[in-house]
Structure 1
Amino acid sequence: MAHSAPDTGLLTRAEIRADLTRSGLNLIGQALSIFDADLRLAVANTQYQSMFDLPDALTQPGASFEDTIRYLVLRGEYGAQDDTDAAVALRVDQARTFQPHYFERERANGQWIAVEGAPLSQGGWVTVYTDITRIKQQEALLRARSDALSEQVLLNAESLAAANRELAATNAALQEAQRVLTRTEARTRQVTEMVPAHIAHMDAQFRYTFSNRRLPVVFPGAADNIVGMTLHEALGAPTCAALQPWVARALAGDPQVFEITHPSSGRRIRIALTPDRDGNGVYVLSTDVSAEVQAREALAHAAKRNLAAQLTSGMAHDFGNLLTIILGLQARLAARDLDAEAAEDVHATLAAARRGAALLDRLARISGGREAALEPTDLPALLAELAVLARPSLAEGNVLDLRIDLPEAPLLLDPGALQDSLLNLILNADAATPPPGLITLDARRSGDWLELVVGDTGPGFSPEALSRATEPFFTTKKGQGSGLGLSMVYDETKMVGGTLRLTNGPTGAQVTLRLPWRPVTRRMVLLVEDDDLIRAQVRDQLTGLGHAVIEASSLAEARALTDLPGLGLILSDIQLGDGLGLDLGTALPVVLMTSLPPGARLRDRATVPVLTKPFTPARLAAALDEATRETS
């Protein structure tokens, strides 16, 4: 009965390709089978079934290798077996640890076959069976008629024929291995280029011979294709000078792990240098650990703040009550008609009590928590006001010089904390500078940072002060200082994502504050919130940050407003009365807000910044800034 051609119009492209593959395999002269890593049949051609006379069930994809072997053993394929289970188990175990092989064997029916097997990179193996019965018969005939030929020539001919067949099998295995190796090398390179670290090899002449092209991720501004470049050419003179001694020791055979600060970006970089085994250079692994270092420093200072809290918590309440009583009594005395000497003593006592109250407040700020209060700030005006506050307190003969190089646009800063920090640094510099001296405050932009440097013409920091100055209670003002000033500055700076660095400059001490550069971009914000009271509160926060606000109380109303000219950002609740803020579907920057805790399923669907209600204006400003950066 004739069979009609299959209707390929009803088949998928994958099914058509599979049919073509099966047809091609059925046309080759050898029997072929492929088993996967689970010892299940993946592919077999018709020659495989006919050569071993296998039932249909054992030639279908998914057929068990163990069932196939058991069928062949029971049928006598491998000769008489004393223990069928042991014979099956032996061949199954060999399959689990499959090794490339080639051998020739005579079957029970007298047929000779060459068996050639090779493992696959995806798991499993492929086996090709070739009928070599005629070749063996010709060899036997040649031997039977070998009166005129020497025994040695016959042996050599047979050996050569077998060797040729084995060589062909080996060549095929080598070609497959080369293909797998090439693909593996490409995958390895792709993986290394996805790693957020720089991986490289450098020879004895400090020249890069390999790079995963991730150098700019770790060292901003560096080239990505540095193979063939020297260390100096790739990273510049300052960084090269810092790295060269370490690389030299690694080239001498001594592995190195160290950290440096990248001069231009301020990032903290950890570098591991491993000598290669052939002595021809070093392998380099460079990682940005700025966040780790900041976290480590924050933990150390948090531990010290906890200690400060433990030391003060037991007495702060009672001491505060005593100060309240003292201040009240002295205020009553000051209101009386006292002689000049007594009045002076009363005023001195009041001043000392107020200083004690201020000290308690500063201790509370060290040991307690506080959030940054970011708001649009005119920094030049803030610094001018700071100078007015600080100059009357300077020692006679000392001068404060402001050097401001900043654009006029406002910045997102915590003005109160920043002014307190800078005033503290200026007064510290004044105390360390013998008159006549100069105290400078430089304010400038440095890349993505606002850099504020307070310098003086004093003797500079001692080695102990350089390493311990930010610790709570450490002071060089014996009997006068509280030791809390620089610790407070450090905490205020870290709280807004900045860094503090103490150095000795050419003329004296220098303290450098680096704060994230957050320019204020006034935007038109679409506020979407179905609760009237919450919407009013958030609107006030947005206008306080300098933004114009358009309000919507539902998802439908918001969708009708998303194409307004000039609209720059959307702030929406996740759960609205008529839908989800997640489904706004706009190309504009979006910030979501919710009372759901982190980890909630609905909240985890968000791919944009999410604010947890209630939130401070500082957190709102930071989220708006993050959303705008992600879409810019």
Structure 2
Amino acid sequence: MDPHLFEAVPDALLIVDADGHIVRANTKAHAMFGHAPGTLEGQGVESLLPADLRQLHRGHRARYLEDPHVRPMGTSGQVLVGQRGDGTRFPVEIALSPLVHGGTPHVLASIRDITDTQRQRQALARAHYDAIAAQVGQLAIELTGPGLFDALASLLANALGAKGVAIALRPPGSEHMRIQAVAGHGWRIGGGEADGLVLPGSASASGSTPVVYAPGDCPSTLLVDTDPGWPGDACVVVVPLQATERVAGALLVAASADRVDADALHLLHSTGSLLSTLLRQRRAEEALAHAQRLDALGQLTGGIAHDFNNLLTVLSGSLQLLRPHVHTEDAADLIESAMRSVDRGSQLTRKLLAFARRQRLLPRAVDVGELLDDLQRMLARTLGERIVLQTSAPDGVPPIFVDPGQVEAALLNLVFNARDAMAMGGTIDIAASALDVPQEHADDDLPPGRYVRINVADTGLGMPPDTLARAMEPFFTTKDAGRGSGLGLSMVYGFARQSGGGLRIESTPGHGTRVSLYLPVARGEVELPTERATPVALSRGERVLVVEDDADVRRIAIAFLRSGGYDVRAVPDSETALAMLRAERFELLFSDVMLGPGMDGQAMALAAQDTHPRIAVLLATGYEAPLGEAPGPFELISKPYERDALLARVRALLDAAHPPNAGNAQDPL
């Protein structure tokens, strides 16, 4: 080769022999690789490469020498790397040509440093992807729901030249994915429920970091339906989508390997993060709407239960007053039948009040292991031979602070629901475990704190998403007429919330249901004493003021108290009651909590005690518990009440306020 031409070429030139030694290098080559002039001759050509690439290069060089030909390298997307004398790496393009030098075959390598060119390419690529990212953000602002998913899939497919793009989501409470949008060609994904779709990181949180499967390495469970014409160089990128603490879906991209570079992965990561944020926002909005709907239903059912209890009070009171005047067996049977109906109505209102979180609870520390053991013994024969009941509570599970009767009733409801979902038999598994709910995983339905979670899982039919969304609403049931009131789950939900815990349900059609009951851990609480029956004693001449806005209920209260020998006056509202208290003497005030406009019974009783500190107070409520915090130490009696129970409570309060040895009917003033 002409030595003047060899030096005049602007690129670095190397002549390499068959053994890989540099025979000749021009000045540009010495300068490019950072070596002193004349020092490259005699070195192995692999010394100009990073150490980790040298063995690979030797194989490439041997294959080239078997078929030497003109070959450009580094111009079609692949990145070639050289190494300077100080160890720094830099990108290069290389052109190889066969050459006869000194009568023997050699290779001429023309090398160009493309550092500046590569920077320009990267800058253009990043500007391109930045523009796409801006379009993704704009779509998120302008569109919602399926329209957003379709638009995003199409945008990414066009921007990346992808063979196919899909967005798959897992509905709340389901373990299976549903394809929401598909775009591109060459990759067909079946619509509807994709039972076989398994995502990386589905068992735990993995952020939105893309997972890249090289050509041919994609798991068969990931693809639902692949085009037979799928190119051999295609790879699959999976971007997990996070909604809460678990993977809620994935962005799936199938593209040629040379299109999946760092910038493309960054774009997909950003898009995945945006989709995850939108999913979390949507789930939070759905949870808030669900909580608000249940709260509204709770207020409605609580009001219905209050009014219904007033009706039951009138019915029950009238029957009790009629009972002594009945002298035939048939009439007595009719009264007892009617009283049983009143009891059933009272049980129904208690379920409504449980959902509305207005039932009266008597919580104490309850051992979870003993609770589940008792439950298993109770149900061993009740469930039948086709149902297998399993319970487990590790030794370290702490006691819970709940009303023991109500928690047992709640678990029985869940077990019977599970049994009804397994007509052909199956397994019910009740398992208890302690857990902490941190602030980041808490929500309006489950505050942060320490809980015992009792899972009731079955292998039954499961529920579709639309049924699951309404499962806790009162009177909603999928059972045949006469087989259920639709109050079971709503009662359990209300009990859990009033106890300071929560309820969550996961269900998938064909894969069973799991109900998680979260109950607060007992923290050294003292067991509350149970109410003791007080024997009925008659009046010693005391005067009682009855305050009740419902005229029929007022008449029943008057009749009950007069049957006990009390001197009774009755008024319909708090204003009239306070005026009468100022004018007359009374030993006991018996009032409904809810009195319509004006003061309620609690506020009126406080006002009465300000001027009559020794007056006894008994409040009646259709809610079984006061609304909110009770503003005074007043005893409550729930509607519908029995005559003897009312007289016993009145006598006990009067004896406490005016002991018999201090004289009868003392002036409360």
TM-score (norm 2): 0.35
Identify the structure with bigger relative contact order (alpha carbons < 8 Å, sequence gap 6+). 2
Report which of the two has the higher share of helix. 1
TM-score (norm 1): 0.36
